[in-house]
Structure 1
Amino acid sequence: MANEYPQVMVIGGSDSDGSAGIEADLHSFFMRGVYGTVVLTAAVAGNSYGIHDSVTMPLKFISNEFKDLADDLHVRAAKTGMLADADLINTVADNWEKYDFGKLVLDPVIVTKHGNLLLEADALATLKSRLIPLADVMTPNFYEAEHLVGRKLTSKADIEQAAHELQQMGAKNILLKGERVGGDQTTVDDFVLLEDGKTFWLPAQFFDTDRRNGTGDTVSAVIAAELAKGTDVESAIRIARAFVTNAIGHEIAVGHKFGPINHWANDPAF
């Protein structure tokens, strides 16, 4: 029967070197046994040294991608990637509300792991008003959480409070990813707040490496893949965290500088 196989969608940009963006998402979908589809919003020309050019897709084209997928496939979960501006965010929200694509995992790409701001103030406000209330799961990194709540987070208590504030903005479940600082750090502690109020910390081994491109994309993609298969939210988050830790811990020699994580480390044949 048509569309029995679990299908999942990424709404985001293409990264030409394959280390992040929809390429990392599709790697993740493949490794978790789901069929990946794409609403392409942008494309960047870049490599392990950096991003050197970018283009954004026309809004009408983006809406047509949503329509074509809704007309033919049965997408059971989706995740967002980088959304460049307020108009694009509004277009994504309008189409998400128009069609049924299952559960939404919101990766609020606001600040890079190096602290570089990726969204202007108006786009951030639109993200908060239009997309966060639609999210079944939101996966901000430490710096993104700071921008969303409008203050520095200096303790575990601060992080826990921030997660509750993000939930009050409308997201049902929160995975707030811990800060990666290097040096003598031995673990990275992520905080989880579930819709039913359950909370827990997820510690994982820290690897001091430059091969971490695509980490955030992969976490959200694996969660979306698991939700598309019917996995409960807590288990999906735990699976995603373990997947990424293993991918970072087994480096792959691609690129000269800031390289990708190794999705294939999660293949038993690796």
Structure 2
Amino acid sequence: MRFRLFLCFIFAFSLSILAENKTVTVSGFVTDKEFRLGDATVCFFNSSNNVKCIKSDINGEFSVELPKNKYRVTVKKDGYSSLVGKNFFVDYIFNPPENLILNMTDNKITIYGKVINNFGEPMKDTQVKVKIGEDLLDITTNSNGIFSFKGHVGLISIFAQKSGFYGNGISLLIQNEKFINDISIVLEAKTFYISGALVKGNNYLKEVELELINGNNNKIIASLKTSKDGLFEFRDILNYEKAYFRVPSLGFKSNIFTINKDLRQFNIFTE
């Protein structure tokens, strides 16, 4: 009888020892390398993908009791990105737990960019639309073609547009950068085609100098001589809100018109 009681005692004691060894206490802290981060969510995923999550305290510290197993560890906090990656594992089946240090980084970033035309010139007053996650920003370039904004890591799309130019943009997947200042967006100028005949009365004016003038500043956009048939053809003309023709030898000036599309058979009557 005494021997049986002894065996029962040994068996119960062994079970208690085994029960005690089935779990481990895991402790650590969350940090951005400068400060401890409170209210961060630390999750442990086991091999069956079951999860246990806890929050770090005001000092960034956490402690949790877990069954012995292999775990994938994640950490999340609003405004921060985890630096431990998606494949950070700890194995407590045979190994005792070590203090976990979970590093994060502040999501906030500052971005500077520049919009230039296809001649390399800065483009002021260009409209720039920025999409950061679900947020939309509308900003304008300064006199040097520069734009800037603050955002957070993730996918950022930037699109620039200006009258007289084809729109262009760029998408960036930003992960750990804090400051970006090497973005350049090039806008290609729209060009147009103007052709027709220079006519006086019933005659075509042949080999006569014809000037295309910017109606905003009265500067010459382009000039040529009409052909032997009195025809003219201006190519690769940039978009101008207003323009007019001038024939210096006749002292003639046409009505003002808008250059925003190809103009064919645009005949000029000097009378």
Measured against the shorter chain, the TM-score band is under 0.3
The structure number with the bigger radius of gyration is: 2
TM-score under structure 1 normalisation? Answer: 0.19
Higher RCO by CA contacts (8 Å cutoff, separation 6 or greater) = 1
Structure number with the higher helix fraction is 1
